[in-house]
Amino acid sequence: MLEVRGIQTFYGNIQALKSVSLSIREGEIVTLIGANGAGKSTTLMSICGVTPPRHGEILFRGQPIHRLGAEKIVTLGICQVPEGRHIFPQMSVLENLEMGAYLRQDKAAIKADVDEVFERFPILGKRRQQAGGTLSGGEQQMLAISRALLARPTLLLLDEPSLGLAPLIIKQIFEIIRKINAESNTTVFLVEQNANQALKIAHRGYVMENGAITLEDRADNLLSNEEVKKAYLGI
Amino acid sequence: MDSEYFFELLCGGLVKGSIYALIALGYTMVYGIIQLINFAHGEIYMIGAFVAFIVSGVLTLTGYGGPTVLLLAAVIAIIYAAAYGYTLEKIAYRPLRAAPRLSPLISAIGASIFLTNYVQLAQTPDFLPFPELITDFDFMEPFSRYVSSVDLVILVVTTLTMIALTVLIKYTRVGKAMRATQQDAVMARLVGINVDRVISATFIIGSALAAIAGVLIASRTGQINSAIGFMAGIKAFTAAVLGGIGNIPGAVLGGLVLGIAETLGAGYISSAYEDVFAFGLLVLILVLRPAGLLGKAVKQKV
Ligand SMILES: Nc1ncnc2c1ncn2[C@@H]1O[C@H](COP(=O)(O)OP(=O)(O)OP(=O)(O)O)[C@@H](O)[C@H]1O
Ligand SMILES: [Mg+2]
């Protein structure tokens, strides 16, 4: 479904991605783990066209997308829940959700999807008129994921959805991700520091160090890999 | 203290302030989206007034009545100013989007100087008499001491314009895209908003508002020249900062506060110091409330 081939991404003169290649197949949950500053977020932003790669190529369903620009890439069904959630702070919860459906025209279906979100997360329904910036971290993460789902993505990119959340909420979030993948057949690319949990729900995983992929395997193999255990699982 | 005199000044200040507010909206909207002080915004206002002057001059010859001429002149002025604003962004600011912040600022000052001189050369540096297109309404006779008929038109038009702008920003697709871009430009792109188009729309809307202000103020003062954009621009910028730059209700509040303060200061102390009151007020607010009157209300959680 997605094919990343040797991309190199720069911030000015700083090279954040040296040569990243990876592939994601339809229906999978693939996780990308790595230390702070490894280049995980940059990889997602490169796929989404926010920081386009200087070299290399990205193919989505066989078509090159790395020159398209962010707003075009979204139309293909590639959506990201960025690190830090990026809720529109002065917009209400409802407006935030509606922004997720910005490119859709089917008003009735959007309304139905919003209602579904409020069913899944009653707390968001209760706060629908409240400014997004005033929600708690966990509520914001639920809102951020729901907003991305309102675009009806076929490929959902999640950047550290468990960041800064309490263990109970983290469990909930991972369960939601698993459900999204299983029930609506959404392919998931999950960036995580929480390697243990991520590898438990993922089919495959990549390990990233200093802007390059150093390891790739099935998730269960990575979970029992000695190096991974030492570096990322804290065992 | 003579309360009638006070009320007279207050009304005058309100009229002046609502014009400042219209121009200030353009500054604040652009700043909110791309954090740029568009120093050429005052010139867009001046161009609006000039286009209205030329159009009304031609139309008056054809024998149309004052209100029709004014309306047509305003519409054409809005279209012209919007086109200028749109082009200005494309030429002077867009190529510098990734440059250090000082570069577009210098470009803005350059654009401002260019437009002033362009109009001065293409038209004239002299003051031109703007035709009296708004004739006195009979029903305004008893209140004419406080509010002239022109003033009434100004107040009504600015109020309606601001209501329209509020509706546009709150409920329309482009308005929502503008708010989203202002609050989080990266996320705006991730939901599929074309940020370039939003920026263009912001310049178009801001310039249209400035053109409306230009037509209104020209009808009131009865004369225009190529340099009127400078002072109006600085005053409106002051109003925008006063209210909290980037904040839309703040621009309206800042405009009104500035207009009233200026008029009261001029009326009670000395009209020679009108500008001193305006800028003195700015300094005072910036010392006491650096973010402006309405500053930023909700902070983003990290
Ligand atoms: N806007 C930026 N400007 C300059 N350098 C940046 C920028 N964003 C990221 N970098 C650099 O690029 C490298 C990769 O950053 P990135 O955010 O992709 O890492 P990450 O793996 O997501 O880290 P974390 O786990 O902390 O989120 C880092 O060295 C970082 O300093
Ligand atoms: Mg990151």
Residue B276's CATH number: 1.10.3470
Q: Which tokens sit at A152?
A: 């009806």
Measured torsion, CA atoms of residues B3, B160, B50, B256, in degrees rounded to the nearest 10: 40
Mean pLDDT of B2-29: 91
Ligand 1 surroundings by CB, under 6 angstroms: A 11, 14, 16, 34, 36-42, 83, 193
Contact in structure between A194 and A188 (CB atoms under 8 Å): no
Determine the pLDDT at residue B38: 92
pTM of the model: 0.90
Query: Are A86 and B181 spatial neighbours (Cβ–Cβ below 8 Å)?
Result: no
Over 70: is that where the pLDDT of B1 sits?
A: no
Note whether residue B203 is domain-resident. yes
Q: Quick one: pLDDT at residue B132?
A: 80
Q: Tens of pLDDT along B176-234?
A: 999 999 999 999 999 999 999 999 999 999 999 999 999 998 888 888 888 888 988 99
As for the ipTM of the complex, it is: 0.93
Phi and psi at B257, nearest 5°, equal: -60, -45
pLDDT at B130: 82
pLDDT in tens, A134-154: 999 989 999 999 999 999 999
Strand order from edge to edge, sheet including A204-209: A63-64, A55-60, A2-11, A14-24, A212-218, A204-209, A29-34, A187-192, A155-159, A78-81
pLDDT interval class at B273 (50, 70, 90): confident
pLDDT confidence of B63, banded at 50, 70, 90? confident
CB atoms within 10 A of CB A69: 17
Inter-chain contact B191–A135, Cβ cutoff 8 Å? no
Q: Cα dist. A185→A123, A161, A222 in Å?
A: 25, 19, 24
Residues B143-189: pLDDT tens digits? Answer: 777 788 888 989 999 999 999 999 999 999 999 999 999 999 999 99
Residue B80: inside a domain, yes or no?
yes
Question: In the structure, what pLDDT confidence band is assigned to residue B131 with cuts at 50, 70 and 90?
Answer: confident
pLDDT at B301: 41
How many domains does the structure of chain B reveal?
Answer: 1
> Which residue's CA is the nearest one to ligand 1's atom 30?
A37
Contacts of A59 (CB under 8 A, 6+ apart): A2, A3, A5, A65
Q: In angstroms, rounded to a whole number, what is the distance separating the alpha carbons of residues B29 and B13?
A: 23
Confidence of residue B68 (pLDDT cuts 50, 70, 90): confident
Please report, rounded to a whole number, the percentage of residues in chain B having pLDDT higher than 90: 55
Q: How far apart are the first and last CA of chain B?
A: 53
Average pLDDT over residues A184-212: 91
The β-bridge relationship of strands A155-159 and A187-192 is parallel
Of A70, A131, A134, the CB nearest to B190: A70
The confidence score (pLDDT) of residue A75 equals 94
Q: Which of A14, A162, A192, A194 to mutate to test the pocket of ligand 1 (most atoms within 8 A of CB)?
A: A14
Q: For residue A146, what pLDDT is reported? A: 94
Q: Residue A235: its pLDDT value, please? A: 61
Calpha distance B226→B301 (Å, rounded): 47
For residue B160, give every residue at least 6 positions away whose Cβ sits within 8 Å of its Cβ, in sequence order, or none.
none
Q: What is the structure's pLDDT at B126?
A: 84
Q: What percent of chain A has pLDDT over 90?
A: 78
C-alpha distance from A106 to closest chain B C-alpha (Å): 14
**What SS3 class is residue A5?**
strand
Asked if A98's CB is within 8 angstroms of B176's CB, the reply is yes
Please tell me the least confidently modeled range out of A45-59, B22-36, B90-104, B271-285: B271-285
Which residue did the predictor score with more confidence, B263 or B298? B263
Angle between helices B248-268 and B149-171 (to 10 degrees): 160
pLDDT above 90 for A160? yes
Phi/psi of residue B46, nearest 5 degrees? -65, -40
User: Helix B195-221 crosses helix B173-183 at what angle (to 10 degrees)?
Assistant: 110
Of A80, A84, A137, the CB nearest to B190: A80
Distance of alpha carbon A13 from alpha carbon A98, whole angstroms = 37
Nearest ligand, CA of residue A34?
Answer: 1
A100 — pLDDT class (breaks 50, 70, 90): very high
Ligand 1, atom 25, residue with closest C-alpha: A36
Decide if A102 and B189 are in contact by the 8 Å CB cutoff: no
Please report whether residue B301 resides in a domain: no
Q: Which residues in B lie closer than 8 A to residue A91 (C-beta atoms)?
A: 179-180, 183
> What percent of chain A is modeled with pLDDT above 70?
99
Q: Could you tell me the CATH superfamily of domain A2-233? A: P-loop containing nucleotide triphosphate hydrolases (3.40.50.300)
Average pLDDT along chain B: 89
B302: confidence class by pLDDT, cuts 50, 70, 90: very low
Q: What is the DSSP string of B230-282?
A: HHHHHHHHHHHHHH-TT-HHHHHHHHHHHHHHHHHHHHHT-GGGHHHHHHHHH
* Residue B124 domain boundaries: 11-288
* Contact residues for A119 (Cβ-Cβ < 8 A; gap 6+): A125
CB A205 within 8 A of CB A198: yes
Partner-chain contact A86 B189, CB within 8 Å: no
State mean pLDDT over B277-291: 85
Contact residues on chain A for B179, CB-CB shorter than 8 A: 88, 90-91
Instruction: Note the pLDDT of residue A33.
Output: 92
Q: Kindly list the domain boundaries of chain A, sorted by start residue.
A: 2-233
Rounded to 5 degrees, φ, ψ at A152 are 50, 60
Whole-number percent of chain B with pLDDT over 70: 97
Structure-model confidence comparison of residues A127 and A227, the more confident one: A127
How confident is the model over B21-46, as a mean pLDDT?
A: 93
Three-state SS at A33: strand
pLDDT confidence bin for B297, thresholds 50/70/90: very low
